[in-house]
Amino acid sequence: MNRLIQEALVVGLAHRLHANGSWTGETHLQKAAYLLSELRDVDLGFNFILYKHGPFSFGLRDEISAMRGEELLDSVVPNPRYGAQLMVTRRGQDLEHQLQKTMQRYGPDLDWIAEKLGSRGVMDLERLATAMWMTREHEGASVRQRASALVRVKPHITLEDAIEAVEEIDALLGERSTARPA
Amino acid sequence: MDSMAKRLHEVRDAIHVFIEFDDDERLIIDSPEFQRLRNIHQLALTYDVYPGASHKRFEHSLGVMHLAGRIYDVITRPDKISDPVRATMPDPSQNDHRYWRTVVRMAALCHDLGHLPFSHAAEDELLPDGVDHELITWKIVHSDAMLSIFNAITPPVRADDVGKLALGPRKAERLRLGVGFTPWEAILAEVIVGDSFGADRMDYLLRDSLHTGVRYGHFDHERLLGTLRVMPEPAREDKELDESGTEPVLGCERGGLQAAEQLLLARYFMFSQVYHHATRLAYNTHLKDFLKRWLPGGTFPVDVAGHLARDDSDVLVAIKQAAADREAPGHDPARRIVTRDHFKVAYEKRAAPKDGRANDEDHHGDTPADVEALARAAANRFGEDLVAYGAPPSRKRPPDFAVRSRDGRTSEWASGLSDVYLRLPESPDAYVLADATIRDDVRRWLNDNRETLLDEARAAKIEESEKGVS
């Protein structure tokens, strides 16, 4: 994917998550980008590995860092007790407006993912994204098998929560074919 | 207890005074793979700017082993392990603990084995797509020569473990090695190659500072080392109510925050004064241009034998010969290096105004992409061989890090505690470089036409980017 389009989509995702109530820290953006690629087939061009709090991309981390340097995103600390938030700058908004074709093409996918995930906290996002990872890793496995695999790599998550997360992923996967624009 | 105690050896070091190593580590140090690092300059041609900067990857790798071992010993001290993270870590009295200590030191020793001649100076364009020096490190760690050393250790050391910790998750992801990291392995990789408190970073800042003479690259690493801890990650948002669901991270105690801030400042000063120095970037450009013309096929070999056969000494001889022979491939960049006829700064990245207008439409500073576009425009007008874009290969900001409260009960983010972290400036690190004879002309032309050139470049980039979007 062209880097400018990649940047516009990261900006678009960040601002939509924020508009839907998300804290929009790095973890939120990481998990939303991963689920965007898996649930909506919008591949931003980052590799993900199973790492901290589930699927994680150092490529996306570096891109966020570079986008801060390019004044497309700003890191703010509204409350010193919590992690930083990533806010879209004026320059970031301009980029999104300038890439009209891109936003027409991918805007509905960004809206969909932001509506689904904007209100979710980091712990929820970690469970969901890791459940998605296990669903891809263990194709055809039952809900309980995938939930057990999730708990093996993330032992601080209970089996009950893991089952709930896998079931939600199955529901979202079922939804995506009907939610996609023709 | 081991049935036979290992002998300890020691060597003097400019930073750490004495570095100790055992018989197994000595086998690695004495291997041709490691000895090659004696001929790889830590800072490429920076010695043409800072004459003292002629130190090598060899002593740096020893230093990283030393620091990584010390960090490991600090964070696994029984009285320093808190209940919330105890389950993540091996029991200090068990074999697992000793195994991982061996792996950490071995990985630290091996982390630079894949470095090309002149380190990072020209790596991006001189290796085939999908290959970088860490992949070569991975291959060397898995070579027969290294496996025979690892397998002879009691208990045998797994090459995958050494490779994973030497590269860290960032490179494992980029190289698609297909390896995962447990929370404990992730912390140990942080100990070696972490962006915040990695032994690699600490050693190179201290060592480069000493050898370049840039004294404000120094920081109180002894204090910082003593306060490093494994701790629960701080809350990332207001919905996170306690630490029960978080993963452990490497951070520092509250008492080490000032030393950590000093490290951040040391990093800033070293980047602005040394690593992003415009003349150093110019020499990197000439070195890269020379290597592209001199190397067969324009790239370095990536097989282990081919890699081990090349070091800085071969390249230096070739530069000297090419500089003296007008017909030799790479003569012009070689001549520029030898005669110090390097490119000069014609344009430097402009900062945004600091009076609150930075968000106004007409008062943006330059981005690195802007400077690159200006360099391209100047190269089109004045000649491809006379103008270059000078910038470091990556531009990572230091990540936020965890700090444990004085009572040891909660973790907080440095961004919430440290004004130094929040206000850390960026160094000017993107330049248009030009031949000395046209530098003033390039400067005038860019200053006179900056707005038009940038508008045209941005419009062209957007049009080009959206071509494939339907």
pLDDT of A40: 94
Query: Which of the residue ranges A103-107, B51-55, B425-429, B444-448 would you say has the lowest mean pLDDT?
Result: B425-429
Q: B395 with B408: CB under 8 angstroms?
A: no
Distance, CA of A150 to CA of A165 (rounded, Å): 10
Tokens of B111: 């982390």
> Would you say how long chain B is, in residues?
470
Measured between alpha carbons, how far is residue B414 from residues A82, B229, B275, B371 in Å? 10, 14, 25, 32
Quote the pLDDT of residue B122: 66
pLDDT band at residue B428 under the 50/70/90 scheme: low
Tell me which H or E stretch contains B207.
Answer: helix B199-212
Instruction: Tell me what pLDDT residue B244 has.
Output: 64
**For position B1, what pLDDT does the model report?**
43
ipTM for the whole complex:
0.84
Would you state the pLDDT for residue A34? 97
Sign of the CA dihedral with B77 first, then B80, B85, and B87 last: positive
Task: Give the model's pLDDT for residue A180.
Answer: 53
Bridge partners (DSSP) listed for residue A86:
A75
**């590995």: which residue's tokens?**
A49
Asked if pLDDT for residue B363 goes beyond 70, the answer is: no
CB contact under 8 A, A48 and B173: yes
Q: Chain B: nearest CA to A106, how far in angstroms?
A: 10
Question: Which residue's entry shows tokens 């689904």?
Answer: A116
Give the angle subtended at the CA of B340 by the CAs of B336 and B345, to the nearest 5°.
85
Rounded to an integer, the average pLDDT of A88-97 is 93
Tokens at residue B22, please? 């055992």
pLDDT of res. B182: 84
Confidence check: pLDDT of B243 > 80: no
Q: B462, B467, B470: which to substitute to probe chain A, counting the most A Cβ within 10 Å?
A: B462
Is pLDDT above 90 for B449? yes
Determine whether the interchain pair B369/A23 forms a contact, defined as Cβ–Cβ distance below 8 Å: no
Are B446 and B378 within 8 A, CB to CB? yes
Q: Provide the pLDDT for residue A19.
A: 97
Question: Is the pLDDT assigned to residue B269 strictly greater than 90?
Answer: yes
Asked if B173's CB is within 8 angstroms of A57's CB, the reply is yes
In this prediction, residues A80-102 reach a mean pLDDT of 92
Among residues of chain B, what percentage have pLDDT more than 90?
Answer: 71
Interface test with B, best of A11, A27, A81 (most B CBs within 10 A): A81
Could you write out the DSSP letters of every residue in B216-268? GG---HHHHHHHEEEEEPPP-STT--SSTTPPEEEEEEGGGHHHHHHHHHHHH
Q: Are strands B402-404 and B248-253 parallel, antiparallel or unpaired?
A: parallel
Residue B389 reports pLDDT greater than 90: yes
CB contact under 8 A, B415 and A75: yes
Q: What is the mean pLDDT of residues B39-68?
A: 97
Average pLDDT over residues A3-17: 95
Q: Which of A155-169, B6-20, B228-242, B374-388 has the lowest mean pLDDT?
A: B228-242
Q: How confident is the model at residue B354 (pLDDT cuts 50, 70, 90)?
A: low
Distance CA A54, CA A126 (A): 6
Sorted by where each starts, the structural domains of chain B and their CATH numbers stand as 8-277 (1.10.3210.10), 344-406+425-465 (no CATH)
The half-sphere exposure of B48 on its side-chain side, counting CA atoms within 13 A, is 20
pLDDT band (50, 70, 90) for residue B222: very high
Q: What is the rounded distance in angstroms from the CA atom of residue A121 to the CA atom of residue B239?
A: 6
- Residue labelled with tokens 């840039």: B214
Model confidence at A176: pLDDT above 80 = no
Count other Cβ atoms within 10 Å, centred on residue B78: 9
Q: Residues 6 or more apart from B59 whose CB is under 8 A from it?
A: B13, B14, B207
Residue B361 pLDDT > 60 = no
The structure's pTM equals 0.91
**Region A84-104: what's the mean pLDDT?**
93
- For residue B186, give the nearest of B116, B287, B104, B113 by alpha carbon: B104
Measured CA to CA in angstroms, residue B304 lies from A161, B39, B149, B165 at distances of: 47, 17, 17, 20
Determine the Cα angle at B289 with ends B288 and B293, to 5°: 110
pLDDT at A172 over 70: yes
The pLDDT of B178-196, averaged and rounded, is: 91
The first and second tokens of residue B419, run together, are 């004004």
What is the Cα–Cα distance from A67 to B356, expressed in whole angstroms? 20
Residues of B in contact with A101 (CB under 8 A): 466, 469
What average pLDDT does range B430-459 have in this prediction?
Answer: 96
> Which of A49, A89, A157 has the CB atom closest to B359's CB atom?
A89
Chain A residues in contact with B412 by the CB 8 A cut-off are: 80-81
Give the minimum alpha-carbon distance from B247 to chain A in angstroms, rounded to a whole number.
7
pLDDT digits (tens, 9 = 90+) for B109-166: 999 999 999 876 667 788 888 788 999 999 999 999 999 999 999 889 999 999 999 9
Cα–Cα distance, A110 to B179 (Å, whole number)? 30
Asked if the Cβ–Cβ distance from A80 to B413 is below 8 Å, we say yes
Q: What is the mean pLDDT of chain B?
A: 91
Helix then strand then coil, % of chain B, to nearest 5? 55, 10, 35
Tell me: pLDDT of B275 over 70.
yes
What amino acid occupies position B201?
R
The arithmetic mean of pLDDT across residues B54-66, rounded, is 98
Q: What tokens were used for B209?
A: 């500072």
Pairwise CA distance, residues B10 & B17, whole Å: 10
Span A90-111, mean pLDDT? 94
Task: In whole angstroms, give the CA distance from residue B115 to residue B17.
Answer: 26
CA-based end-to-end distance of chain A: 23
Indicate the residue of A70, A102, A121 with minimum beta-carbon distance to B240: A121
Average pLDDT of the segment spanning A127-153: 95
Q: How far is CA A15 from CA B233, B238, B249, in A?
A: 26, 19, 28
- Per CB-CB distance under 8 Å, the chain B contacts of A77 are 413, 415-416, 422
Q: Mean pLDDT: which of A76-85, B63-72, B229-238, B405-414 is highest?
A: B63-72
Confidence of residue B369 (pLDDT cuts 50, 70, 90): confident
Q: Mean pLDDT, to the nearest integer, of B413-436? A: 89
> What does DSSP say about strands A49-51 and A54-56: parallel, antiparallel, or unpaired?
antiparallel
pLDDT confidence of A83, banded at 50, 70, 90?
Answer: confident
Residue B470, pLDDT above cutoff 90: no
φ, ψ for residue B229, nearest 5 deg: -145, 155
Mind giving me the DSSP string for B55-86? -BHHHHHHHHHHHHHHHHHHHT-GGG--HHHH
State residue B409's pLDDT score: 84
pLDDT band at residue B352 using 50, 70 and 90 as cut-offs? confident
Percent of chain B scoring above 70 in pLDDT: 94
Look at residues B268, B120, B100, B253 and name the one whose alpha carbon lies nearest to residue B189: B100
pLDDT at A148 over 60: yes
Rounded to the nearest angstrom, the minimum Cα separation between A2 and chain B is 6
What is the pLDDT at residue B91?
79
Which tens digits make up the pLDDT trace of A11-52? 999 999 999 999 999 999 999 999 999 999 999 999 999 887
Residue B283 has pLDDT above 50, yes or no: yes
Q: Which of B181, B237, B466 sits opposite A25 (nearest CB)?
A: B237
Of B386, B460, B398, which is closest to residue B424 (Cα–Cα)?
Answer: B398
Q: What single string gives the DSSP state of each residue in B70-137?
A: HHHHHHT-GGG--HHHHTTS--TTSHHHHHHHHHHHHHHHHTTTTPPTTGGGGTTTSS-TT--HHHHH
Give chain A's largest Cα–Cα span. Answer: 47
Number of domains present in the structure of chain A: 1
CB of A28 within 8 A of CB of A84? no
* Mean pLDDT calculated for residue range B341-361: 77
Of B183, B180, B169, B178, give the one whose Cα is nearest residue B134. Answer: B169
- Please tell me the distance in Å from B465's CA to the nearest CA on chain A: 6
pLDDT at B180: 81
Q: Decide which of B446 and B243 is more confident.
A: B446
Structural domain boundaries, residue A161? 3-179
